[in-house]
Structure 1
């Protein structure tokens, strides 16, 4: 299952738009653009996205992308560890 990264259209600043476009070109990631993700306080303060339903923030666009990639890798590792237990 591919990770789902969701972006609020109200927070699509030029740097966040670049991140969204990069991730849309990644065949390992599903990207969704929503009119509102219901996290208005966070949305007003910092760039953010939802990765499989969890909030990921960054200081700026490049930091957000780094944190999204990190979150995806951590989730992938957790899933692999879980499957190893089976």
Structure 2
């Protein structure tokens, strides 16, 4: 099972578009963009994404990328699967 990373189209103004494009280059991930993820308060304030349904938020696109990769590594360890 590949990790699923979901982005909100309305959050792209916060820099999550940069992170999404970077993650799309990794064939071991399923990267999906939705019109709305239903986290409007979060979406307005900072870049964020959902990693296997869990919110990962950061202060900028680079930090978001690093936190998403850390979450994927955590899931990899917890569920004992390889990417």
Structure having the higher helix fraction is 1
Stretches of structure 2 that go unaligned for 5 or more consecutive residues are: none
Please list the CA deviations of residues 19-70 of structure 1 after superposition, one character each: whole Å capped at 9, or x if unmatched.
Answer: 1111111011100000000000111111000000000001100000000000
Between structure 1 and structure 2, the one with the greater Rg is 1
**1-side partners of 2:54 and 2:61: how far apart?**
18
Residue matched to 1:79: 79
Q: Map residues 8-27 of structure 1 onto 2, 5 A cutoff.
A: 8-13=8-13, 15-27=15-27
Please say if residues 14 and 47 of structure 2, whose CA atoms lie closer than 8 Å, have aligned partners that are also in contact.
Answer: no
**2-side partners of 1:34 and 1:15: how far apart?**
15
TM-score, normalised via structure 1 length: 0.88
TM-score, normalised via structure 2 length: 0.92
Tell me by how many angstroms 1:14 deviates. 7.0
Stretches of structure 1 that go unaligned for 5 or more consecutive residues are: 82-86
**2-side partners of 1:30 and 1:76: how far apart?**
14
For CA contacts below 8 A with separation 6 or more, give which structure has more relative contact order: 2
SS of the equivalent of 2:78 reads helix
**1-side partners of 2:6 and 2:21: how far apart?**
12
CA RMSD, aligned part only? 1.4
**1-side partners of 2:19 and 2:31: how far apart?**
11
